[in-house]
């Protein structure tokens, strides 16, 4: 029995793990395993393309993170719907809450502006603080 090093690859050709596997004469690795040089600079998250490995780029990491960021931002808008409804009620009752309303408007605008900010990283977003 010989121990060989393999990269486990997911359906998107991304390395999910680097592991040692015991092999025997005639053993055929399953399609999700790619044998690698034990000294190769291959790490979890690398991409396997055209028979070679490469490190994932910052742009690719951000592209993968963007749907999660968008979902979280949409959830923050959704869970603050009550503020808009409360403001409408207060307006009808002629209650002045301009200061609080302005704080909420600024918060929602900050959420909208996040992707346009310099250095924006959807993998590590810096969320604006919700008004009290």
In a domain, 85, yes or no: yes
Could you report the per-residue pLDDT of 87-120, keeping only the tens digit for each? 877 776 777 778 888 999 999 999 999 999 999 9
List of residues 6+ apart from 69 with CB closer than 8 A: 122, 123, 125
> What pLDDT score does 113 carry?
97
Domain membership flag for residue 122? no
pLDDT value for 84: 84
What's phi and psi for 42, nearest 5 deg?
Answer: -115, 130
Structural domain of 86: 58-116
pLDDT digits (tens, 9 = 90+) for 32-57: 999 999 899 999 999 999 999 999 99
pLDDT at 5: 96
> What's residue 130's pLDDT?
95
Measured distance CA(36)–CA(100) in Å, rounded? 59
Phi, psi of 78, deg, nearest 5: -65, -40
Question: 31 and 68 in one domain?
Answer: no
Please give the tally of structural domains in the chain.
2
Predicted TM-score (pTM) above 0.85: no
């Amino acid at each position: 029995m010989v121990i060989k090093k393999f990269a486990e690859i997911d359906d998107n050709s991304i390395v999910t793990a680097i592991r040692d596997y015991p092999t025997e004469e005639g053993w055929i690795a399953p399609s999700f395993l790619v044998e690698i040089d034990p000294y190769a600079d291959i790490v979890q998250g690398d991409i396997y393309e055209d028979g070679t490995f490469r490190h994932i780029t910052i742009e690719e990491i951000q592209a993968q993170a963007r749907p999660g960021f968008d979902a979280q931002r949409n959830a923050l808008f959704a869970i603050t719907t009550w503020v808009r409804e409360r403001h409408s009620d207060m307006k009808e009752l002629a209650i002045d809450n301009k200061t609080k309303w302005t704080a909420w408007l600024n918060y929602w605008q900050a959420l909208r502006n996040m992707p346009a900010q310099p250095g924006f990283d959807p993998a590590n977003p810096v969320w604006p603080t919700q008004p009290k």
